[in-house]
Structure 1
């Protein structure tokens, strides 16, 4: 009798080969059940979690000038099991080998772990943060290896004292303060150690009038402090008493300017090579490597990371320019950042939104002149802070200044 081919054996062999090919193509998983051995790809549910970003950033060289009152955060690639994100798996040491006491929280919505130190970190110290392999995702898969990064703290997080200058929204050294337009409002005091005649285009809360015109008449909701003579209107100011207050304010602003210097606050970084537009910055000290800072490409965002005491110090040896032709720019505060904790130390002059419009934030202390907008612009420029020029004038065109609360 003629033997038939062994189709059963052949079919079994072909089926086995097909399953092997499909299994390999599925990253080692069974093509039907979806489970099995092999190495899962990065997007697979079976892949290990990773740290995708940190604050301070995990960079080489390491970040310097980090505020000593900063929190440390890490963002994961996958949803993590909250119970595994704790002080045993998120460690901070300043310096290495010296553990920092604090609390650790985890936000499932943003996959972010946050280490909040119980006290300020030591100044000018290299700190090391570690996420250990005890951190697991919601399926129990752990990091493949510890994630370790370092950063260096700034010289101090001691609040900057402005002394008698703290109530001033605008100060013009010995050269005065000038307003053009009808929309300027200073929600604070205004001053100069020069004569009252060097303040023009303003009236204040006690009825003093400083050379206003039908087109140039701004309001100071506080007082104007100058040297004699007495101004027009009520004529209350422009005397020895107001001159003494202005003199003390200038002295205290100068002290603050020196305390904000690179010599006093070293370690500043320049993450945008002079261009701050488009950046989101954590608290810290930032120094313009080329001498000047710009916010012209886009807005600048300052991220307080939930800390209302977080501080930013910006240092320029030369100029600060915010906004470009026809393109006003803004400084945006998020996650608890406060205008009172933002400081700009400007080695020469500051120009803020020359085209009009936009919102600037922080106390600007400039060695030379500070100017807001340009004559003829109606769009309001807003400063949530102070404009303190030490050795030259401050000029405003339709500008609103809101002095931050202490």
Structure 2
């Protein structure tokens, strides 16, 4: 990659992140991906899974009362494993594989098979993106940083111990590949700046995800294992887990399309 051939905007972005690395905040590795050469990352295609705020393969637990704006579904687990009450799903539909779910549920096993399949495809897409722009930034600690659009990869856990900002424009895409767990501290925030949209932010986690008490998160979480929202936490995004989703008086809002 020849630095002089990059756009002016991308030069500024790379320069800022290189400065962060030199300052000792974390290490950054610039790869040869399309994004690193001045072209944007394409969003992760969620398919029918993109119509859900919460999707789980093994169940959704809940400490009353949560507020969900968007569809909720679980498959192949029985609907009895969806513990949200009907009033808590303020907009959207609860989909179940059988009639054992909440009384307002819609039984749609074939549809849910497709949805869960699309979730798996989306996870594979996010995990399979190659040539990341930044590798092991901050040694996994990204609290306090302002992150720019691109593809990020960590071979470690990722921790958000203080507020983190995602800065860019309305069409910019952020993809975070995390080989370990994702842990956000209590009362800390993921903030979008400059017009970044939550629908263009994707967190692929091979480990578990924990969003701390009263913390706020942005973007779609594609989790291989548990996604746990602690008491009073909120998300403008999606909780798409290949195992369980646990809620504790949370607000979950599907992002604007």
Fold shared, TM-score > 0.5 on shorter chain? yes
Unaligned 5+ runs, structure 1: 1-52, 66-122, 126-150, 205-217
Q: Alpha-carbon deviation of 1:295?
A: 0.3
**Which one of the candidate residues 303, 309, 319 is aligned to 2:167?**
303
2:8 aligned residue = none
**Alpha-carbon RMSD:** 2.3
**Which one of the candidate residues 101, 106, 119 is aligned to 1:253?**
119
Aligned pairs for 1:41-190 within 5 A: 54-57=12-15, 59=18, 64=30, 124=33, 152-153=36-37, 157-173=41-57, 175-182=58-65, 184-190=66-72
Which structure has the higher relative contact order (CA within 8 Å, separation 6+)? 2
More deviation, 218-227/380-389: 218-227
C-alpha spacing 1:287/1:257, structure 2 compared with 1 (3 Å): same
Distance in 2 between residues matched to 1:315 and 1:154, nearest whole Å:
20
Higher helix share: 2
C-alpha spacing 1:225/1:273, structure 2 compared with 1 (3 Å): same
Distance in 1 between residues matched to 2:103 and 2:28, nearest whole Å:
59
- 1:281 lines up with 2:147 in the alignment: yes
What is the TM-score when the length of structure 2 is the normalising length?
Answer: 0.84
**Which one of the candidate residues 198, 206, 212 is aligned to 2:81?**
198
2:251 aligned residue = 400
Contact 2:78 2:101 in 1 (8 A): no
* 1:316-370 superposed Cα distances (whole Å, 9 cap, x missing partner): 11210011xxx321101111111111100000210111xx212100000110111
Contact 2:79 2:102 in 1 (8 A): no
- 1:294 lines up with 2:159 in the alignment: yes
**Which one of the candidate residues 179, 204, 209 is aligned to 1:345?**
204
Distance in 2 between residues matched to 1:164 and 1:349, nearest whole Å:
23
- 1:321 lines up with 2:230 in the alignment: no
C-alpha spacing 1:178/1:154, structure 2 compared with 1 (3 Å): farther
Q: Alpha-carbon deviation of 1:269?
A: 2.2
Distance in 2 between residues matched to 1:269 and 1:332, nearest whole Å:
21
Aligned length: 237
Q: Alpha-carbon deviation of 1:220?
A: 4.5
Distance in 1 between residues matched to 2:188 and 2:238, nearest whole Å:
17
C-alpha spacing 1:54/1:154, structure 2 compared with 1 (3 Å): closer
